[in-house]
C-alpha cells in the first residue's frame, strides 16, 4: 500500500481553500467522468482517484487527519482515539461510491466509504447495471451458427452466436447484466466480438478474398484449377490469356450474412501467375523462339 | 400498454432529489420521452439507464440541460465513429 498525495491528484497546493478544491475537482471530474469516457479504463481509474482525493480534502475533518497523518498513515489509529470524544457529525456528500471504489490507503485511514456516500433506503424499483464483455472467436467459429457457454460475473450463460458475426460487433443480451434493485429489471449484457482470422481468406463484410497460384501455361492456354473455398473446394475454369492479378468472383461462396439464413457474400479469387524456373536448354530455346515470334 | 413498465416521475424526483420541472425540461429538449397517464407523468423503464446517465452528468458535473444535450450528441458521434473505425480496421486487414 502506498501513500497517495491527494493534493497532487487534484493539482492543488496544501493551502488550497474549499473553493479551490471544489473547482479543481469539478474540472478534473468533467475530464475523466466515466459517462463522458465510455470503455476507457484509464479515465475510470483517474476518476476514482480524483473522487477519493475530493472525498478527503473537501471534508474538513478528513482533511485535517490526512494533513496530520497522511504520510504516516499507519499511526492514524491514534488520531481516531484522540478524536473519539469530539467526533462531530458526518460531512454531507453527494457521491455515490462504495468501498471498492476507494484505495487501500483510503480504507486504512478512513475505514472505507463514508456511510452517507452510500445509497440506501430505496423504495423504487431500478434497473440493474449493464455489463460488458469481450468474446474472442476464430473466423471459422463464426462461419456457422453455434452455441457457446460463457461465464460472466460467475454466471453461466448459454449463448447462440449467429453465423456472420463481425469483428467489433456488439450483441446486447437483455436481462443478463446486473441484478435490478428492489425487484427492478436486470441490466443487459453487451458482448463485443473479437474475431481472429488465421485462415488464408481475408474478410470484408460478407465477402471473402483469396489468391491462387496459376502456372504460366494454364494462364496462357486456359484450363481448370481446383481452389479452396471457405468450406470446401471448387473447380474454376481458367480463360486463355488470363492476366496476372486478374480477379474472378464466385457468387455465394463468401461469408454468411448475419441473421439472414441461407444468404452468403461472394468469394473473390485473384490469380497470381507463377513463372517456370530452372529452364532446360530445350525450354529456353522454345521461349527464345516465342520471343522472336512476338517481336516480328 | 403495460403500466408496470412505467415509473412515475414523482417517484424519480423523490429518489434523486430533483424537481419535476427538471424532467419536464429534459422532455422539452427531446432528451427523454414522458408518457401521461391520467394527470401523472411516467417514464418507461427502458429509459432508466439513459436518465441515470443524464442525472449523473447533471448532478456530479454541474452541467445544465443544454450542455447535457451537446454531450450526448458528441457521445453518439464518438460511438458512431468507433463503429466506423472497427469497420475500417476490418477492411484494412485485407491489405495487411
Q: What is the pLDDT of residues B7-33, one digit of tens each?
A: 999 999 998 889 999 999 999 888 999
Q: What DSSP string runs through A224-260? A: EEEEEETTEEEEEEEPTTPPTT-EEEETT-SPBPTT-
DSSP element (H, E) containing A270: strand A267-274
- Delimit the CATH 1.10.287.110 region(s) of chain A: 6-118
| A187-197: average pLDDT | 89
Q: Which of B62, B63, B90 sits opposite A168 (nearest CB)?
A: B90
Q: Where are the alpha helices (DSSP H) in chain A?
A: 6-10, 18-32, 41-57, 60-69, 76-83, 104-110, 216-221, 281-295
CATH placement of domain A6-118: 1.10.287.110
**How high is the pLDDT of residue B2?**
72
| A118-127: average pLDDT | 47
| A170-187: average pLDDT | 78
B6-8, strands of its sheet edge to edge: B6-8, B40-44, B34-37
Q: With beta carbons less than 8 A apart as the criterion, state whether A63 and A7 touch.
A: no
The cell for A207 is 465477402
CA dihedral of A154, A155, A156, A158, whole degrees rounded to 10: -140
Q: What is the pLDDT of residues B49-96, one digit of tens each?
A: 889 889 989 988 889 999 999 999 899 899 889 888 988 888 887 777
Q: Which residues contact A32 (CB under 8 A, 6 or more apart)?
A: A43, A44, A46, A47, A50
B91 to A204: CB separation less than 8 angstroms, yes or no: yes
Q: With beta carbons less than 8 A apart as the criterion, state whether A111 and A99 touch.
A: no
Q: What is the pLDDT of residues A224-241, one digit of tens each?
A: 999 999 999 999 999 999
Confidence tier at A8 by pLDDT (50, 70, 90)? very high
Nearest CA to A145 out of A52, A63, A261 is that of A261
The cell for B92 is 484494412
| A211-217: average pLDDT | 94
Q: With beta carbons less than 8 A apart as the criterion, state whether A248 and A258 touch.
A: no
- Residue A113 above 70 pLDDT? no
CA distance A72 to chain B (A): 31
Q: Which residue of B has its CA nearest to A93?
A: B60
**How big is chain B, counted in residues?**
96
Angle between helix axes A18-32 and A41-57 (nearest 10 degrees) is 170
Choose from B2, B48, B67, B77 for mutation: most chain A CBs within 10 A. Answer: B48
**How high is the pLDDT of residue A129?**
73
**Which chain A residues are within 8 Å of B78, Cβ to Cβ?**
38
Nearest CA to A186 out of A215, A211, A157, A146 is that of A157
Percentage of chain A with pLDDT > 70?
81
Confidence tier at A134 by pLDDT (50, 70, 90)? confident
**How high is the pLDDT of residue A43?**
85
Q: What is the pLDDT of residues A42-55, one digit of tens each?
A: 888 898 899 899 99
- Residue A84 above 70 pLDDT? no
- Residue A96 above 80 pLDDT? no
Tell me the CA distances in angstroms from A279 to A216, A285, A287, one per residue in order.
13, 9, 10
Nearest CA to A93 out of A17, A25, A31 is that of A25
**How high is the pLDDT of residue A155?**
78
Question: What is the distance between the alpha carbons of residues A261 and A256, in angstroms, rounded to a whole number?
Answer: 8
B57 to A33: CB separation less than 8 angstroms, yes or no: yes
Choose from A22, A32, A35 for mutation: most chain B CBs within 10 A. Answer: A35
**How high is the pLDDT of residue A94?**
37
| A60-65: average pLDDT | 89
- Residue A73 above 70 pLDDT? no
Percentages helix, strand, coil for chain B (3-state, rounded to 5) are: 70, 10, 15
Confidence tier at A72 by pLDDT (50, 70, 90)? low
- Delimit the CATH 2.60.260.20 region(s) of chain A: 131-196, 202-274
Confidence tier at A266 by pLDDT (50, 70, 90)? very high
Q: Identify the CATH class of A202-274.
A: mainly beta
Q: How many CB pairs under 8 A join A and B?
A: 63
Tell me the CA distances in angstroms from A128 to A119, A125, A177, one per residue in order.
14, 10, 7
CATH placement of domain A131-196: 2.60.260.20
Q: Which of A26, A166, A209 sits opposite B62 (nearest CB)?
A: A26
| B33-62: average pLDDT | 89
Residue with cell 473455398: A229
Q: With beta carbons less than 8 A apart as the criterion, state whether A276 and A270 touch.
A: no
Mean pLDDT over each residue of chain A, to the nearest integer: 83
Question: What is the distance between the alpha carbons of residues A266 and A115, in angstroms, rounded to a whole number?
Answer: 61
**How high is the pLDDT of residue A258?**
94
**How high is the pLDDT of residue A249?**
96
| A122-149: average pLDDT | 80
Amino acid at each position: 500500500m502506498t501513500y497517495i498525495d491527494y493534493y497532487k491528484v487534484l493539482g492543488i497546493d496544501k493551502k488550497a481553500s474549499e473553493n479551490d478544491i471544489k473547482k479543481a475537482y469539478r474540472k478534473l471530474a468533467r475530464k475523466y467522468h466515466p459517462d463522458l469516457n465510455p470503455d476507457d479504463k484509464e479515465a475510470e481509474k483517474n476518476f476514482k482517484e480524483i473522487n477519493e482525493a475530493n472525498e478527503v480534502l473537501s471534508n474538513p475533518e478528513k482533511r485535517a487527519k490526512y494533513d496530520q497523518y497522511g504520510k504516516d498513515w499507519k499511526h492514524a489509529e491514534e488520531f481516531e482515539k484522540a478524536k473519539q470524544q469530539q467526533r462531530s457529525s458526518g460531512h454531507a456528500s453527494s457521491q455515490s461510491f462504495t468501498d471498492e471504489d476507494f484505495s487501500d490507503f483510503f480504507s486504512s485511514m478512513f475505514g472505507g466509504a463514508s456511510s452517507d456516500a452510500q445509497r440506501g433506503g430505496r423504495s423504487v424499483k431500478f434497473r440493474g447495471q449493464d455489463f460488458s464483455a469481450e468474446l474472442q472467436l476464430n473466423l471459422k467459429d463464426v462461419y456457422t451458427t453455434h452455441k457457446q457457454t460463457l461465464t460472466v460475473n460467475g454466471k453461466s450463460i448459454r449463448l447462440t452466436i449467429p453465423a456472420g458475426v463481425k469483428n467489433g460487433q456488439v450483441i446486447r443480451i437483455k436481462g443478463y447484466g446486473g441484478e435490478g434493485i428492489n425487484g427492478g429489471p436486470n441490466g443487459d449484457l453487451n458482448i463485443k466480438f473479437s474475431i481472429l482470422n488465421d485462415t488464408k481468406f481475408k474478410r470484408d463484410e460478407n465477402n471473402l478474398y483469396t489468391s491462387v497460384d496459376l502456372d504460366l501455361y494454364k494462364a496462357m492456354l486456359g484450363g481448370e484449377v481446383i481452389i479452396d473455398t471457405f468450406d470446401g473446394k471448387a473447380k474454376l475454369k481458367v480463360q486463355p490469356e488470363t492476366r496476372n492479378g486478374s480477379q474472378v468472383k464466385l457468387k455465394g461462396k463468401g461469408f454468411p450474412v448475419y441473421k439472414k439464413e441461407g444468404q452468403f457474400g461472394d468469394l473473390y479469387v485473384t490469380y497470381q501467375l507463377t513463372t517456370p524456373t530452372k529452364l532446360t536448354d530445350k525450354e529456353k530455346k522454345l521461349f527464345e523462339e516465342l520471343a522472336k515470334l512476338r517481336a516480328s | 400498454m403495460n403500466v408496470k413498465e412505467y415509473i412515475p416521475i414523482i417517484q424519480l424526483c423523490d429518489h434523486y432529489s430533483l424537481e419535476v420541472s427538471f424532467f419536464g425540461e429534459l422532455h422539452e429538449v427531446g432528451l427523454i420521452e414522458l408518457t401521461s397517464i391520467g394527470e401523472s407523468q411516467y417514464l418507461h423503464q427502458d429509459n432508466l439507464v439513459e436518465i441515470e446517465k443524464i442525472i449523473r452528468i447533471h448532478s456530479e458535473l454541474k452541467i445544465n440541460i443544454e450542455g447535457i444535450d451537446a454531450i450526448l450528441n458528441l457521445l453518439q458521434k464518438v460511438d458512431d465513429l468507433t463503429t466506423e473505425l472497427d469497420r475500417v480496421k476490418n477492411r484494412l486487414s485485407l491489405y495487411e
